[in-house]
Chain A
């Protein structure tokens, strides 16, 4: 497959996932309903856009977040739900359309407002816009630049774009990896409780 085709495919899949839920009766994500997924997908496209190289949407950071918000990030799930809804409301207030349906430049201005904490406060209640932005940005960067095993950075796409050899080259050739536990561990197991 040519690289361009692959990227196109990735973009298409992501878009379909976001806007139509075309997979039939099964939800695509465990945690997000379709409207939330659409808003989040558009937000990811702002944070790390798909272009010649897949960004956060193309590298499936959606899957990373869907997974980690059920695990290590679970303390943030309520803020995600509230923040995505509030971002959508902010879009409706300003443009009378959902965030996901806005033009890229309109979305960008809203995200800049979110980062600065300067969107109209009504939909946000006691949720800090700036803190919500920081949280989603941090998680998105971790999903995109982090290890593919966690669900994002599909095919190590961000690492290859940075020029980081994957799998790692150094240190692989000269060593037999120890199969036995180290002396300390073996001793600890002998003498432990």
Chain B
């Protein structure tokens, strides 16, 4: 058994930052990560075995033989699935978590994204709610994430973003061919194109080199470490303090409680499957929206018989990712210039203010689509196999461009994570059981976003376009969020505004789980900002040797 001031469960976007903030403040931190450490040499450029396309494996975890989940379909049929199944809603399990292999878009949510109920009212059958905090609360912490990890971009051409005190610390990468075509087209339409902000070096920053603009980006570890993840920024800082110990391949099974019923640490299985105990004054759960909910639900005790923080049945509820929708177009000229990362230009004109719709999405061009990611995206009328399919791809692969975005989801109470006590993982821990689907209005918004994207492609000169609309199924995946909602009322939320679990004030959830709504944006920078925000609270409440009240 070991003793610590704080134990942080999960070394991803949220946990990595909390570990660094607490360790540099002098707390003794144990950072537990269920996956392994990954290096730039693990890029491997394998288009069939990466975190984006995992047909032959998900090298950055979790281990598919040891970590089943249960997925329940729309008819109520449950089946056991592995990491490579889309229904698994995998993110990653490694040091850095999703930030090791993400595409690295670095969006701040808009002020209205925190006030969705106030802005739109509550669609029937939804749990749409306002956040207990506002954009202004997070602004300094967004800025801190942008500067500590490093974000490139230029927000000056985007009139929609919230107030910001400083510009981004790095300029954007030079434009690609797609960028030039789409920027001109969206300007002709009266829209406001600008370069996508990225947690990606465009110039040397933080001791790491700039992006070399290869095509092995989203889904892969960056071969030159130009993408900023927690693994190459804040976690090394945490370790360099001497106050933080990182233990990899550590599977936390339960948050334990002391004789007084209060949470006092964790039990976990180490890399050799030996059961270990760690006691801590502060416990931070940062496993991602699926695994964090699972851990709380698996942590049953006398005071929390339904799982930690689950007295009003809100843990695991409102699972949401994004309803990705957009369009694809074929152009008369080559649009492919093989200049990574591909995704480059965005508009935020459609995030809000769409008549009759409660939200919207940013729209942008795509990361470079590797050939194996392109074969399913052919227009209606082209058969999905045979000579016609083969020739369509050969004629059009270099002339095809996508424009799409993450439609903000309308939360649904029954889109949820439960634990399935009949299915156990390698360590005997009940696995996550995923069920539910998207709200019908989410699909309406997504369909509208697809049409907006199609109009942009047509204006840009596409000779043929077709829509890519989100399906009705559950979405979580790499953008998973919502399962431990932040709120002032313990009856309708799992944690308070500082990410403290209601009724267990020394336990924090710091990841996408706390998002009340998930923005029409990739959520990672918001996860990071909330991690700085919650860490700031913990540091203020830390009384030298213990957490207040603990």
Interface of B is mostly: loop
* Min distance, Cβ A68 to any Cβ of chain B, angstroms: 7
User: Closest chain B residue to A190 by CB distance?
Assistant: B239
* Min distance, Cβ B217 to any Cβ of chain A, angstroms: 10
Stretch of B160-168, B308-316, B368-376 that contacts chain A = B368-376
Residues 136-193 of A at the B interface (beta carbon under 8 Å)? 137-138, 141-142, 145-147, 149-150, 158-159, 161-165, 168-172, 174-175, 177-178, 181-185, 187-193
Residues 209-248 of B at the A interface (beta carbon under 8 Å)? 209, 212-216, 223-225, 231-232, 235-236, 239-240, 245-248
CB-contact partner of A175 in B209, B235, B240, B374, under 8 A: B209
A71 within 8 A of B: yes
A49 within 8 A of B: yes
A72 within 8 A of B: yes
> Would A49 and B38 count as touching, CB distance under 8 A?
no
Chain B residues in contact with chain A, CB under 8 A? 37-41, 45-49, 55-57, 84, 95-96, 209, 212-216, 223-225, 231-232, 235-236, 239-240, 245-250, 270-272, 336, 338-340, 371-372, 374-376, 384-387, 389-390, 393-394, 397-398
CB-contact partner of A170 in B38, B338, B389, B398, under 8 A: B338
Cβ of B38: which chain A residues have Cβ within 8 Å of it?
Answer: 185
Q: Known contacts A147-B47, A168-B338, A181-B41; is A72 also within 8 Å of B55 by CB?
A: yes
> Would A141 and B39 count as touching, CB distance under 8 A?
no
CB-contact partner of A142 in B214, B270, B372, B398, under 8 A: B372
CA distance A149 to B372 in the complex (A): 14
> Would B214 and A168 count as touching, CB distance under 8 A?
yes
Cβ of A150: which chain B residues have Cβ within 8 Å of it?
Answer: 48, 56
> Would A145 and B374 count as touching, CB distance under 8 A?
yes
Determine which residue in A49, A51, A115 has the highest number of CB atoms from chain B within 10 A of its CB, and name it.
A49
Cβ of B338: which chain A residues have Cβ within 8 Å of it?
Answer: 164-165, 168-170
> Would B37 and A185 count as touching, CB distance under 8 A?
yes
Cβ of B37: which chain A residues have Cβ within 8 Å of it?
Answer: 184-185, 188-189, 192
Residue pairs across A and B with Cβ atoms less than 8 A apart, 6 shown, are A49-B386, A171-B212, A171-B340, A178-B225, A184-B239, A193-B271
> Would A187 and B384 count as touching, CB distance under 8 A?
no
Closest 9 CB pairs of A and B: A171-B214, A171-B212, A162-B397, A188-B37, A187-B239, A145-B371, A72-B56, A183-B236, A184-B231
> Would A170 and B239 count as touching, CB distance under 8 A?
no
Cβ of A72: which chain B residues have Cβ within 8 Å of it?
Answer: 49, 55-57, 84
CA distance A169 to B214 in the complex (A): 8
CA distance A192 to B224 in the complex (A): 24
CA distance A177 to B468 in the complex (A): 38
CA distance A97 to B223 in the complex (A): 53
A60 within 8 A of B: no
Cβ of A183: which chain B residues have Cβ within 8 Å of it?
Answer: 232, 236
Given known contacts A174-B212, A177-B224, A192-B37, what 6 new A-B pairs fall within 8 Å (CB)?
A: A53-B394, A72-B49, A145-B374, A159-B371, A168-B45, A168-B216
A108 within 8 A of B: yes
> Would B248 and A192 count as touching, CB distance under 8 A?
yes
* Min distance, Cβ B387 to any Cβ of chain A, angstroms: 5
Residues 47-75 of A at the B interface (beta carbon under 8 Å)? 47-49, 51, 53, 55, 68, 71-72
Cβ of A145: which chain B residues have Cβ within 8 Å of it?
Answer: 371-372, 374-375
Cβ of A49: which chain B residues have Cβ within 8 Å of it?
Answer: 386-387, 390
Cβ of B96: which chain A residues have Cβ within 8 Å of it?
Answer: 184
